[in-house]
Structure 1
Amino acid sequence: MTNKGEFFQALRDRKQLMGAAKLAHKLFAASPWYIDGVLKLGDQPALQSKPLATPKMDSEKVKTLESLKSFADQKLEETPGAKIEFPGGEVAAKEGALVGRKISISDKAKLPSWTNQNIKIIFYGESSKLGDPSQASGTRAAELLDKMVSAMKIPEDQVLKLLSEEKLEESSEFFESFMKGLLFSRPAFVVSLGALATNTLIGRKEKLTRIHGQFFPIKIESGDDKCQIQLMPLFHPDFLLINPNMKRTAWIDLQKIMSEFEISSP
């Protein structure tokens, strides 16, 4: 062959006679880089990408699921911790889930003396020792709570510490009165001190180690009067005295409330 044109024309002729695969094998089989059967992508038609079809749920199923969710949310709010049964199954709130509750009280409930509409935060704890001058540990616990609240730098007239020796039991006059006070005062937050107060206020048993520092919406209503308060569980000062290594954890929890008031920590 005298020139490149004749050479390439000969290759094209052989390609038509032998086929591209056989010609390539004959020419390059001895080369170490050649892999028999490799396709030349340039000879192949371009692949067209197709978007995956999004499965569509039947509108009736969507409505049914939405209705079921609404029903479950309402029932779990009214009966925290309970299982809600329906045809074909049951649902229950997962342990530690941030499920609040709705509390309805009588319009005849007694209004407590501590009510004040300037209050933004209420600390509530049940203890026979907390704040009791006759008990040294109670005095220390009260002092610790005072220091923690003072460090938050929230105006004193916006903070209330309710340290009651009376047990907060649902359906009791004391519970109704306490809820009446919250409904009247409408604080932004209630900090429940310890597991006893926390479990009573959220309406179910939870481990404080799992839910401390988290916010639970509590809806209170009496007739047409309604309000919603954020409840945050906190370790009891008595517990912090016994386990001083947990003081930092409690302080971190309180800083979450401080951030709502745009207060910088010292």
Structure 2
Amino acid sequence: MSAHVAPAGVGRTMLIEEGTPRMPNQNEPRPYESTEQSLLAAEAPSVLFPIASETTPIGALPAVRDEIGDCRRCKLCSTRKNIVFGTGSPTAQLMFVGEAPGADEDAQGEPFVGRAGQLLTKMIQAMGLSREEVYIANIIKCRPPENRNPQPDEIAACSPFLLKQIEAIRPKVICALGTFSAQTLLETQQKISALRGKFHDYHGVKLLPTFHPAYLLRNPNEKKTVWEDLKKIMEELKK
């Protein structure tokens, strides 16, 4: 898929900075940016994409979903309502990776559908894209009870499937949303403030961390900061 990226004009900032209306029964933002928990990502292969390809193998993502099945690989299976696999284009050049499903996502089986998801949709639209043109997933696929942070054993159970999703999609850029996603993917304990705004190498894929939309709902002054990060991604997608 070729990304249709709009010019990084100042006017598009308004799409991000507009207030997000509250919808009934939406989960409250999670405290993504305050965690100091040690995050140990599961060991990943040294080369994520051993074979270059212009397109996603037919059926690759459905095959990953089939492999997950009715997952019982960690304790979250006892409290979840739905496995939240991911959504979007299987040939996306841009992939967003968040932390974990919240209450709305658990109920609907789709990532980023609550208040933070509404803001993410506006961010994507401000980039000249749609949710259907990108791919959206999370570090883990089941909601942790009371929206607590995912635990190492849960990450270890889910990480192989996120890697397979990334390998199937083969995005040009990954945008890690928030502290937890960035720390887990980059295997670091650096704060998001130190990681954001610049590209990192993730198994040959360019990865740019930025603040999570839930954090922006609590700290709207940071929306301009995130817009600067998104403009860097837009420029990279044009190359």
The interval holding the TM-score normalised by the smaller chain is 0.5 to 0.7
Structure 1 CA distance for aligned equivalents of residues 237 and 129 of structure 2: 8
User: When the two structures are aligned, how many residues end up with a matched partner?
Assistant: 149
Residues 106-134 of structure 1 deviation map (CA, whole Å, 9 limit, x = unaligned): 9xxx7246595411111111145375498
1:236 aligns with 2:209: no
1:144 aligns with 2:119: yes
User: Which residue does the alignment assign to 1:207?
Assistant: 191
Q: Would you say the 8 A contact 1:218–1:231 is kept in 2? A: yes
Structure 1 CA distance for aligned equivalents of residues 232 and 181 of structure 2: 20
What does residue range 219-234 of structure 1 map to in structure 2 within 5 Å? 219=203, 228-234=204-210
1:122 aligns with 2:95: yes
1:111 aligns with 2:64: yes
SS in structure 2 at match of 1:158: coil
Aligned-residue offset at 1:231: 1.0
Q: Can you give the 5+ residue segments of structure 2 that lack an aligned partner in the other structure?
A: 1-42, 49-62, 66-84, 108-112, 145-149
The higher-RCO structure (CA 8 Å, 6+ apart) is 2
Structure 2 CA distance for aligned equivalents of residues 243 and 168 of structure 1: 26
Distance 1:169-1:201 versus aligned 2 partners, 3 A rule? farther
User: Which residue does the alignment assign to 1:259?
Assistant: 235
Q: Would you say the 8 A contact 1:123–1:191 is kept in 2? A: yes
Q: Which amino acid aligns with 1:195?
A: T
1:174 aligns with 2:158: yes
Q: Would you say the 8 A contact 1:168–1:174 is kept in 2? A: no
Q: Would you say the 8 A contact 2:90–2:135 is kept in 1? A: no
Higher strand fraction (1 or 2)? 1
Distance 1:187-1:131 versus aligned 2 partners, 3 A rule? farther
Q: Would you say the 8 A contact 1:103–1:218 is kept in 2? A: no
Normalising by the residue count of structure 2, what TM-score does the alignment of the two structures yield?
Answer: 0.54
Residues 183-232 of structure 1 deviation map (CA, whole Å, 9 limit, x = unaligned): 1211011111111111010011111111212111111xxxxxxxx21111
User: Which residue does the alignment assign to 1:32?
Assistant: none
Distance 1:186-1:147 versus aligned 2 partners, 3 A rule? same
Q: Which amino acid aligns with 1:103?
A: A
Structure 2 CA distance for aligned equivalents of residues 186 and 168 of structure 1: 27
Normalising by the residue count of structure 1, what TM-score does the alignment of the two structures yield?
Answer: 0.49
Distance 1:184-1:126 versus aligned 2 partners, 3 A rule? same
Distance 1:216-1:130 versus aligned 2 partners, 3 A rule? farther
User: Which residue does the alignment assign to 2:60?
Assistant: none
Structure 1 CA distance for aligned equivalents of residues 168 and 151 of structure 2: 19
Aligned-residue offset at 1:174: 1.0
User: Which residue does the alignment assign to 2:167?
Assistant: 183
User: Which residue does the alignment assign to 2:37?
Assistant: none
- The Cα RMSD (Å) is 3.2
Structure 2 CA distance for aligned equivalents of residues 133 and 184 of structure 1: 24
Identity of aligned residues (%): 28
Q: Which amino acid aligns with 1:211?
A: L
